[in-house]
Structure 1
Amino acid sequence: MKTAITLSRVEEAASGPFVFHQELPDGFARAAHHGYDSVELFLPGPTAVSASEIKTLQEEHGLGIAAVGTGAGLVRHGLSLTDPDAGIRQAALQFIQEMVELGGSLKAPAILGSMQGKWGGTIRREQALDWLAEALATIGDTASKHGVPFIYEPLNRYETNLLNQVGQAAEWITELGLQNIVILADMFHMNIEETDMARAIQNGGDLIGHVHFADSNRHAMGFGHSQPLPVIEALKAIGYNGYLSAEIFPLPDADQAAAQTIQTIHTLLS
């Protein structure tokens, strides 16, 4: 398994669970200093930073790009794939597609988290899931042209009411025959929604394509009450060789969070 750490440049997410919020050159340098393999980027949009600039920083610091997030589409522009307004749904799809193109140019997948939205009011759950499935089918096809998957993240009940558990998402993706879609197993969300996180990983099986490595309180692992070893053992059992990515609060500060995370991962994998 490989290590990654989050780097956000979205002003609206300044208080969000991302370790580094500095300018990209500083963020890349800090990630490399702590010994991470890659960074996971949370950018304001697909044109905020050029792919060439990112590639230059990669080469300078010897880092990969684990994934690119799409959440700025919601926090900055109010877009979601299940909005009652068809125009907003189309704008959301376009935003994500453009982020997929950016990620693809870096050989990195994009992640769908908060932009999946939720159902309620005049929108039934079945309708929202139909819209989500249609969008995922389109986005998965776009990502496949770059040779990368598209990552879908089940979120906890306080952030969405669509799909909250890893096994539930895996079953839904399989039943619909969605292609080139993998699941992000986020240990913070799983701590809320799963009765057994290791079993949830097993339920996800080979659809698990990315892991957010966070403790129960969304701090660095070891600063809460999660037990990560059974999760690591379950990931090994399903043959997972992707990223353990720190999407966590920068507490007590960014460097301590970064150091704690990578030390814990190295201990667990040794």
Structure 2
Amino acid sequence: MNKLGLHANVWVGSWSEAEARLAISRTAELGFDVLEMPALDPAIFDIALTRRLLDEAGLASVLSLGLDAGTDISSGDPEKMRAGEARLLDVVSVARDIGAHHISGILYSAFQKYMVPPTRRGIEGAAEVIARVGEKAAASNITLGMEVVNRYETNVLNTAAQAIEFCRMVDRPNVKVHLDVYHMNIEETDSVAAIEMTGDMLGYFHTGDSHRGYLGTGSIDLPAIFKALVRTGYEGTITFESFSSKVVGDPLTGILGIWRNTWDDSDDLVRHAMEYTRSQLKSARESLRTSALMPGQD
């Protein structure tokens, strides 16, 4: 059974003590299993406080981040690659200490718009760094998720096929593909086919909609997405991610282009996301069960 996750940026823009208490308590109260916390700067975490609050709430946790220009391990620049590896290792240490078992995001390049395509050597260098970081992560039972994002946020992994190839280059069992419907809606020719192609290499999944707002009110065929997840046997975490200028702060506002309030009421947004996700998963499972019982089906 899939665990349901929620991105902390639906509640808070940073991670002060008050923000940590709010995000953790409300996520747990509304029935989610997992809280995803941004770790662009791992130094923001009060590790002891965060772990205690998570444990008290009974929440599992995920850390997510993207590298920056100075830590770009796909750059081919030895100094930047060393800095990027050090940043990733710091995040692994934070994840270990707060009890998180998954780190996801743009771990393989800078989280930015590029003006030139990646080089083959740059991609190979990123894979070598991720392989070393993956070994440290494995010692703490941590999975690394290579998030596939749109062309305006990286030039390395924009499609599921690219992520599959990259993970095969890394060749570590705890390095998986992370798919996100918002980005798939931009880059994939067929999002359902991308999920099916990824198969058991899929380690983490983001739901959302085309405008970053309420699920089911944009242009993405979410019922087909949930059916694909159920049909392929994906049992990992499904995390709802949504951004509004009401909450999100720098640097994400600029990087993601969150220029308007896509929603105003965090509580209503999150309640709706939970109800919608549970309903779609139930419908998808019933559809699969009914199809299995139809005459002529194996």
Identity, % of aligned positions:
26
Deviation at 1:197, TM superposition (A): 1.1
- Look up the equivalent residue of 1:100 and give its one-letter code: V
Distance in structure 2 (CA, Å) of the matches to 1:124 and 1:78? 16
Say whether residues 1:112 and 2:105 are aligned partners: yes
In the TM superposition, 1:20-59 aligns within 5 A as 20-21=11-12, 23-59=19-55
Q: Given the alignment, which residue of 56, 65, 74 partners 1:70?
A: 65
Task: Compare 171-180 and 39-48 and name the one that shifted more.
Answer: 171-180
Give the structure 1 partner of residue 144 of structure 2: 150
Give the structure 1 partner of residue 216 of structure 2: 222
Give the structure 1 partner of residue 127 of structure 2: 133
Deviation at 1:204, TM superposition (A): 0.6
After superposition, the Cα gap between the structure-2 partners of 1:136 and 1:114, relative to the gap in structure 1 and judged at 3 Å, is: closer
| TM-score of the superposed pair, with normalisation by structure 2 | 0.78
The structure with the larger Rg is: 2
| SS across alignment from 1:47 | helix
After superposition, the Cα gap between the structure-2 partners of 1:107 and 1:249, relative to the gap in structure 1 and judged at 3 Å, is: closer
Structure 2 contact 130–170 (Cα < 8 Å) conserved? no
Distance in structure 1 (CA, Å) of the matches to 2:74 and 2:81? 6
Distance in structure 2 (CA, Å) of the matches to 1:203 and 1:236? 14
Note the residue ranges of structure 1 that are not aligned, 5 or more in a row.
8-17
Distance in structure 2 (CA, Å) of the matches to 1:36 and 1:124? 38
Say whether residues 1:101 and 2:112 are aligned partners: no
Distance in structure 2 (CA, Å) of the matches to 1:42 and 1:176? 24
Distance in structure 2 (CA, Å) of the matches to 1:104 and 1:207? 23
Structure 2 contact 104–145 (Cα < 8 Å) conserved? yes
Note the residue ranges of structure 2 that are not aligned, 5 or more in a row.
14-18, 245-261, 283-298
Deviation at 1:188, TM superposition (A): 0.5
Number of residues of Structure 1 aligned to a counterpart in Structure 2: 255
Deviation at 1:176, TM superposition (A): 5.4
| SS across alignment from 1:100 | helix
Deviation at 1:182, TM superposition (A): 0.4
Deviation at 1:232, TM superposition (A): 1.4
Deviation at 1:112, TM superposition (A): 3.4
Give the structure 1 partner of residue 227 of structure 2: 233
When the two chains are superposed, the root-mean-square deviation of aligned CA atoms in Å is: 2.2
Distance in structure 2 (CA, Å) of the matches to 1:162 and 1:178? 19
Deviation at 1:5, TM superposition (A): 1.0
Deviation at 1:84, TM superposition (A): 4.8
